[in-house]
Amino acid sequence: MNILAHKIGFRYSYARRGSQFVGLNAILAIVGIAIGIAALIVVLSVMNGVMVQVRDKMLSMTAQVSLRSYSDDRMVPLDFDPKPYLSPITKIHAWAPYIQGQGLIGDGQSFQGVVLQGIDPTKEDKVSSTFAQLDEATRARLVAGEYGIILGKGMAEVLDAHLGDKITVIVPQVTASAAGLLPRLKRFTLLGTFSSGHYQFDNQMAWIHIADASKLLQLPDGISGYHIRIDDPMHAPLIRDQIQPHLPYGIFASDWSRDQSSYFSAVQTEKHAMFIILCLIVIVAAFGLLSSMYMVVTEKQRDIAILRTMGMTRAEIRKIFLTQGMVFGGLGMMIGLILGVVLSLNVPNVMNLLREWTGYELPAKMYFINELPAKIDPVVIIGVSVVTLILTLLFSVIPAQIAAKTEPARALSHE
């Protein structure tokens, strides 16, 4: 009888004529579940993609692990040698010194803020993938004393600066003169531009030679720290903790997950909030399934009574309608999974269509990237499937229980 109960449940999932579903409510419930699941998968995949792409773009410009100073002047002394602390760790591939400061940059008439990063061009390509992507001629022209500068592509466009143009840089350090204390400024020659794909870096950062940065920022006795490249960015916290106990007083190790923790925590919080909101959509759709199943039970009162008089137990009646509910929920889940995966794989194409139809551009200044990626997480797919099946089962239990309590005599007395 168990197999018979399941067969009847499957049979009740279809109308007597053709292969259409028994009612509009059932169709709407299936569509609602499918849309909710598809939306859940697409949104979570896009948020995963954004996190991964922003992280990768960020790591192409920033250190995976870094050594810095917490002394009064925040400078790592020149006599500090990182090799004894870093070379024993096999996961560390390279390191490079840097000096970082802030200032203004412009053409002499209009200026904007800039983050100046003084680098050693002979070592920076080993720790920065964006710098390594520059052509060798551009990197070779970044020579100490020549005061060359490499701008982010976005900043160069804003300044309308071209190769060979003179760029004025003003820093907050002062120079004494007959007119009093004046901010230091220097004319640099534009050697080239870089594009990391990260809005903040491409519009706010500039590279100069570390020796020129030392002179301009008046830092003759130290540097800001060392950028360290490791084999896997996900191992950065472990490497940081491995380095820290051996460092001398005044020097500390940090990593990208700690330096950028506020941004990634905000994205993770938003991701959790969106998950809850979209789960509510699936729950609302499941209520539609509950309504549809209740109507089916009401419609099948005569059939239930006949089956009970033929010897079918309450448990078997319950299985009939649980099977029917799982068919509806499973079908909605499968449609939603397929639709969600297909849309996630084609998010860039969908965004291009929206751009053509509406003229809408993704605000790179807000999201730090100029395209909308998607990364499908198998764990999300499995989790969504399990949650949907559990909800379907829960919302099928109530009408199934009502059907199981049907009294044959009372049901047939109304026929």
DSSP result, 43-60: HHHHHHHHHHHHHHHHHT
Q: What local confidence, expressed as pLDDT, does residue 19 receive?
A: 39
Q: What local confidence, expressed as pLDDT, does residue 180 receive?
A: 56
Determine the Cα–Cα distance for residues 414 and 59; give it in Å rounded to an integer: 73
Q: What local confidence, expressed as pLDDT, does residue 364 receive?
A: 57
Angle of CA points 43, 46, 51, to nearest 5°:
125
Q: What local confidence, expressed as pLDDT, does residue 47 receive?
A: 84
Determine the Cα–Cα distance for residues 292 and 64; give it in Å rounded to an integer: 54
Mean pLDDT by 10 residues, the chain (415 residues): 66 54 69 87 86 78 86 81 91 93 85 92 91 90 93 90 91 67 84 86 91 90 92 90 91 87 77 80 79 74 72 77 82 91 87 76 62 82 86 81 67 53
- Which is nearest to 333 in space by CA: 281, 286, 378, 389? 389
Determine the Cα–Cα distance for residues 369 and 57; give it in Å rounded to an integer: 9
pTM of the predicted protein model: 0.70
Q: Which ranges in 87-233 belong to alpha helices (H)? A: 121-124, 129-132, 136-140, 153-159, 199-204, 210-216
Count how many Cα atoms sit within 13 Å of the Cα of residue 139 in the half-sphere of its side chain: 17
Q: What local confidence, expressed as pLDDT, does residue 386 receive?
A: 87
Q: Which two tokens stand for residue 173?
A: 């350090």
